[in-house]
Amino acid sequence: MDAIELLMTRVSVPVLTEPGPSDCEIDVLIQAACRAPDHARLQPWRFIKITGERRHDLGELLVKAALARGDNLTEGQADRLRKTPLRAPVLLLPVLVFTEHPKVPEAEQLLSLGAAVGNILNTAHILEIGAMWRTGLVSYEPVLAEELGLANNEKLYGFIYLGTPAAEMKSVPEVDPAYFLSDW
Ligand SMILES: Cc1cc2nc3c(=O)[nH]c(=O)nc-3n(C[C@H](O)[C@H](O)[C@H](O)COP(=O)(O)O)c2cc1C
């Protein structure tokens, strides 16, 4: 497949299984992330990798965060939330690393983080690694940031799930470019 075809066929993969990406592949994903457009070269991103047993610890933390949010969880809901990190063998957590800069407001730095994650998703697709970016309201809870060791200038933007696609990939929806494009 050529590069354009690869870009046009990326889809999120919700059901993922072992094996996860290798350390070498993860390095490639991070290198691709670091080629995102980035005003003033602030590199306003970092990624926390969570694999193996640590996913259970993250699950416990998500329940703690939901309770801190005031969510009234039933046992079943708590259990489902606790198991969400087990949806994939490898998780990369995108973190905005904000730097005060006279010409680069926070919104631009967040756009760079989003572009970096986009590069990760596209590169995963090229490497035939299934990937999906999810947030969920608990991911914005301060207790999560604290326990993950985020600094005051950092903010978590969810979870990139990575692994081997476990089901047929969904088809790519048709796009009418004219709908998204206008002349001025
Ligand atoms: C910042 C961000 C957060 C997202 N969070 C969730 C989420 O929590 N749950 C979910 O089902 N999809 C979430 N999505 C959407 C999926 O990642 C995906 O883009 C969507 O299902 C469309 O599928 P596609 O990527 O194959 O077009 C999120 C997307 C973005 C950009």
**Which tens digits make up the pLDDT trace of 82-136?**
999 999 999 999 999 999 999 999 999 999 999 999 999 999 999 999 999 999 9
If one counts the domains in the chain, the total is: 1
Is the CB of residue 139 below 6 angstroms from any atom belonging to ligand 1?
A: no
Distance (Å) from CA 82 to ligand 1 centroid: 20
Give the closest residue (by CA) to ligand 1 atom 31: 133
Domain of 103?
A: 13-50+87-167
Question: What is the model's pLDDT at position 138?
Answer: 94
Q: Is residue 179 part of a domain?
A: no
pLDDT above 80: residue 1: no
User: In 3D, which of 14, 11, 23, 155 has the Cα closest to residue 93?
Assistant: 155
pLDDT above 80: residue 175: yes
Is the CB of residue 140 below 6 angstroms from any atom belonging to ligand 1?
A: no
Distance (Å) from CA 13 to ligand 1 centroid: 10
Distance (Å) from CA 103 to ligand 1 centroid: 30
At 24-46, the pLDDT tens digits run: 999 999 999 999 999 999 999 99
Distance (Å) from CA 122 to ligand 1 centroid: 14
Per-residue pLDDT, averaged over 158-178, amounts to 95
Q: Is residue 61 part of a domain?
A: no
Q: What is the C-alpha separation between 42 and 100, in angstroms, rounded? A: 10
Q: Is residue 180 part of a domain?
A: no
Q: What is the C-alpha separation between 12 and 34, in angstroms, rounded? A: 21
Rounded to the nearest integer, the mean pLDDT of the chain is 97
Question: What is the model's pLDDT at position 20?
Answer: 98
Q: Is residue 74 part of a domain?
A: no
User: In 3D, which of 16, 13, 89 has the Cα closest to residue 54?
Assistant: 89
Q: Is residue 44 part of a domain?
A: yes
Report which ligand 1 atom has the smallest distance to the Cα of 117: 31
CATH at 146: 3.40.109.10
Per-residue pLDDT, averaged over 12-27, amounts to 97
Query: Ligand 1: which of 6, 8, 10, 12 to mutate, most ligand atoms within 8 Å of CB?
Result: 12
Q: Is residue 73 part of a domain?
A: no
Q: Is residue 101 part of a domain?
A: yes
- % of residues, the chain, pLDDT over 70: 100
User: In 3D, which of 31, 36, 8, 18 has the Cα closest to residue 113?
Assistant: 36
CA dihedral 181, 182, 183, 184 (to 10 degrees): -130
Per-residue pLDDT, averaged over 43-61, amounts to 98
Q: Is residue 60 part of a domain?
A: no
Is the CB of residue 11 below 6 angstroms from any atom belonging to ligand 1?
A: yes
Per-residue pLDDT, averaged over 132-142, amounts to 95
